[in-house]
Amino acid sequence: MAVYTEVSFDEAAQFLQGLDLGTLQTMAGCSGGIENTNYFVTTDQAPYVLTLFERLSAEQLPFYLRLMKHLAHHGVPVPDPAANRDGDVIHALNGKPAAVVNRLRGKSELAPTVQHCALVGAMLARMHLAGRDFSMQQPNLRGLDWWNETVPVVVPFVHAEQAGLLKSELAYQNHVATLSSYSALPRGPIHADLFRDNVMFELDASGAPSLTGFFDFYFAGVDSWLFDIAVCLNDWCIDLSSGATDAPRTKALMRAYESVRPLQAQERDLLPAAARAGALRFWISRLWDLHLPREAAVLQAHNPDHFWRVLRQRILYPLTITQATA
């Protein structure tokens, strides 16, 4: 969440009043993330997040925003987009498509415990099941097709060892995609970016964490549920310094997920490949964002070498379902 498009206090105030969201009191740009312009805004009614979309078109946005409304309607704690008097949830501000959602309670947990991972696993499964009857379709825009397009663009920026791994892993993932077991994977809307900073928690009266929401659905698309699981495992359940698997957190997340939705046989077989795919996807995108950046008023670039390490760990020590649940 960087600031690419500046919005003044008065512009935001007029915009929010037009949506009947109250009188603007405070406004601050968000510095995390890299895809959209985001502001935390508070009115006399409630706290909200104002988003201006920098890459996504107005034609693409209905999938994301309607998915969030669908999930919220099904009891999954996600931001609920505000509609205007005509029922539209996609708006315009300073020449960009825009949306306003309620701001979730709590805060992100950047050093998760097994309790946090179990909560994420169970809610992720609930989210997947809740999305089964969502009628809109849009592919995962950062899926295999994008990897094939982008690897040749970023390869010149890395050293020889990394270039070799990028090319060989891309070839492996293209091979996996031809398997009948891959085609049979259960699919539906996925978050596709459910990192630690995209989940909110708060403590209950006893001091135990409770999950208050998933957010930032602007990479969502229809893909295998297994890929969504793999993305989570590669962030929530690893040692950040080395990329190595953290066994207790991995087991907690997977057991909680399967308590809601047991994995099918082909998902169990392809978990090692999916874990590698999740690492490859974010290595490529971080290389893209680092070496081919856009200008922004506030920007935090992520280190692509982190997912190079994660991918090497996933290749050297494949994540099997037995390891994940035993």
Q: Where are the domains of the chain?
A: 9-102, 114-325
What's the chain's average pLDDT? 94
The predicted model scores a pTM of 0.91
Contact 281, 141 (CB under 8 A): no
Is it true that domain 9-102 has CATH number 3.30.200.20?
yes
183: left (phi over 0), alpha (psi -120 to 50) or beta: alpha
CB hemisphere CA count around 186 (13 angstroms): 17
Supply the pLDDT for residue 28. Answer: 95
Q: Return the SS3 of 48.
A: strand
Token pair in block for residue 126: 């609930």
H or E element at residue 127: helix 114-130
The answer to whether 9-102 and 114-325 have equal CATH topology is no
CA distances from 210 to 57, 77, 115 (A): 35, 11, 9
Contact 78, 213 (CB under 8 A): yes
Supply the pLDDT for residue 44. Answer: 97
Positions of the chain with pLDDT lower than 50, given as ranges: 1, 297-298
**Residues near 213 by beta carbon (within 8 Å), at least 6 away in sequence:** 77, 78, 79, 104, 105, 106, 199, 200
Burial (Cβ within 10 Å: 0-12, 13-18, ≥19) of residue 271: buried
Contact 106, 201 (CB under 8 A): yes
Token pair in block for residue 113: 């415990």
CATH number for the domain whose boundaries are 114-325:
3.90.1200.10
